[in-house]
């Protein structure tokens, strides 16, 4: 049975004219499969206006048999939780931005995210990375090998790479997945961070080599950031397809506040969406002295923080069981100091654990 939408008996938070919030009889919603040879198509790209779609015959498509059911369920759940479903002139309609945000929240999967402040406010660098559920050794100094003894970070048990690490020299590198499925992650990208951390190339030299030397990134996908705190340089490199070349590079990343998901780099400082900007400012103001565990949880578990759609899957912060962040790593370097704070927070066997390191750059 299709959703039944009836005009409200009294206006509810009227926004303009004859607009008012709809009185939807959710208990009458039903679900059934109906054979069809047509589909409704509506497209809306970032920056464009939402337009009415049209019914077209099915073409040659390859999708999972479960996709229609999952997508229908997503829409229903989004409508139920969307506060902006309204009536206008007797017809139901919804606020597009709120609806899309709800869809994006539902689609979050096992993918990493990262927040960072770069050369802004009272920080040289403040980095928070939300880690997906991967098999990674706890953060430690890699001092068993002379070549990597100056590197600090968690370590992939299979490849020996890291998704976030720093060095005693103030070099920092971290990755965020391009895809929202961990099974599709192209193993090997975590070795690029190690290559930068143990090397001596500048951030620009490293990025240019990665872009020009196809063998280095062949078969890999990644959103990679490399930084050198001492020289105040940071570069973003993105490769969305394992068979293509590096398709985006930002050199340098300017001072500001940023957020990275599988969709790519999002500049919070210049964002028109006030929520991420306000949320980041709020938790920074509340924790001026030093970020605490609550600081990370407020940022990482905020389901209302959404970024624009990109070429990859768009998602929000990744949480595990309700209110529990699977794993968060932070790097903090205040202005006017050479001291680096490296903190790791994660869940293991239903127990919250912390690893904290402090050292001065050499």
pLDDT band at 178 (very low <50, low <70, confident <90, very high): confident
Same domain, 66 and 196: no
Same domain, 280 and 310: yes
Most confident of 15-19, 55-59, 296-300: 55-59
Domain encompassing residue 168: 113-360
pLDDT at 88 over 50: no
Same domain, 123 and 245: yes
Last residue of a domain, one of 72, 106, 140: 106
Same domain, 124 and 253: yes
Same domain, 151 and 37: no
pLDDT at 357 over 90: yes
Percentage of the chain modeled with pLDDT above 90: 29
Give the residue-averaged pLDDT of 80-85. 46
Same domain, 90 and 213: no
pLDDT band at 310 (very low <50, low <70, confident <90, very high): very low
- Residue pair 115/161 in contact (Cβ under 8 Å)? The answer is no
Last residue of a domain, one of 106, 136, 165: 106
How far is CA 360 from each of CA 58, 121, 333, rounded to the nearest angstrom?
62, 21, 10
The CATH number covering residue 213 comes to 3.60.60.10
- Nearest Cα residue to 100 out of 308, 281, 353: 308
pLDDT at 237 over 90: yes
> What residues form DSSP beta bridges with 227?
172, 234
State residue 316's pLDDT score.
28
Last residue of a domain, one of 106, 128, 144: 106
Q: If you average pLDDT over every residue of the chain, what do you get?
A: 70
- Residue pair 47/76 in contact (Cβ under 8 Å)? The answer is no
Give the residue-averaged pLDDT of 62-85. 48
Same domain, 86 and 216: no
pTM of the predicted model as reported, rounded to 2 decimal places: 0.63
pLDDT band at 161 (very low <50, low <70, confident <90, very high): very high
pLDDT at 92 over 80: no
- 207-218, pLDDT tens digit by residue? 999 999 988 988
State residue 211's pLDDT score.
93
State residue 336's pLDDT score.
93
Better-scored residue on pLDDT, 351 or 266:
266
pLDDT at 260 over 50: yes
> CA angle at residue 279 from 273 to 282, to 5 degrees?
135
- 246-255, pLDDT tens digit by residue? 989 999 999 9
Same domain, 238 and 312: yes
Same domain, 121 and 72: no
Better-scored residue on pLDDT, 302 or 347:
347
- Nearest Cα residue to 113 out of 322, 301, 347, 270: 301
Give the residue-averaged pLDDT of 91-108. 41
Same domain, 259 and 294: yes
Same domain, 231 and 324: yes
How far is CA 105 from each of CA 233, 248, 255, rounded to the nearest angstrom?
33, 26, 29
State residue 37's pLDDT score.
62
State residue 309's pLDDT score.
35
pLDDT at 34 over 70: no
State residue 313's pLDDT score.
31
Better-scored residue on pLDDT, 185 or 276:
276
Same domain, 260 and 306: yes
- Per-position b or e across 287-322, b if 16+ CB within 10 A of its CB: eeeebeeebbbbbbbbeebbbbebebbbbbbbbeee
CA distance 4 to 299: 37
State residue 278's pLDDT score.
63
Q: What is the count of structural domains for the chain?
A: 2
């Amino acid at each position: 049975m299709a959703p039944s939408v009836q005009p409200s008996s009294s206006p509810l938070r009227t926004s303009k004219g004859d607009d008012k919030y709809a009185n939807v009889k959710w208990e009458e919603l039903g679900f059934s499969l109906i054979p069809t040879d047509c589909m409704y198509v509506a497209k809306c790209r970032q920056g464009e206006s939402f337009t009415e779609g049209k019914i077209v015959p099915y073409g040659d498509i390859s999708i999972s048999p479960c996709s229609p059911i999952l997508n229908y369920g997503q829409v229903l759940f989004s409508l139920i939780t969307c506060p902006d479903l309204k009536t206008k002139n007797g017809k139901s309609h919804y606020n597009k931005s709120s609806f899309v945000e709800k869809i994006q929240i539902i689609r979050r999967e096992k993918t990493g995210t990262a927040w960072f402040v770069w050369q802004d406010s009272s920080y040289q660098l403040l980095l928070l990375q939300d880690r997906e559920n991967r098999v990674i050794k706890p953060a430690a100094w890699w001092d068993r090998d002379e070549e990597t003894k100056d590197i600090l970070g968690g370590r992939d048990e299979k490849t020996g790479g890291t998704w976030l690490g720093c060095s005693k020299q103030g070099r920092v590198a971290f990755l965020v997945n391009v895809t929202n499925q961990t099974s599709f992650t192209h193993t090997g990208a975590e070795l690029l961070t190690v290559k930068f951390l143990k090397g001596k190339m500048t951030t620009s030299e490293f990025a240019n080599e990665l872009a020009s030397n196809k063998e280095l990134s062949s078969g890999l996908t990644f959103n990679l950031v490399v930084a050198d705190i001492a020289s105040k340089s940071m570069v973003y490199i993105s490769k969305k397809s394992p068979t293509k070349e590096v398709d985006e590079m930002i050199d340098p990343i300017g001072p500001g506040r940023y957020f990275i998901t599988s969709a790519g780099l999002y500049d919070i400082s210049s964002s028109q969406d006030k929520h991420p900007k306000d949320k980041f400012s709020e938790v920074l103001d509340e924790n001026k002295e030093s970020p605490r565990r609550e600081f990370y949880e407020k940022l990482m578990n905020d389901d209302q923080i959404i970024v624009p759609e990109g070429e990859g899957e768009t998602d929000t912060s990744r949480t595990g069981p309700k209110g529990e962040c699977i794993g968060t790593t932070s790097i903090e370097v205040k202005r006017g100091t050479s001291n680096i704070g490296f903190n790791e927070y994660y869940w293991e066997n239903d127990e919250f654990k912390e690893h904290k390191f402090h050292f001065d750059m050499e």
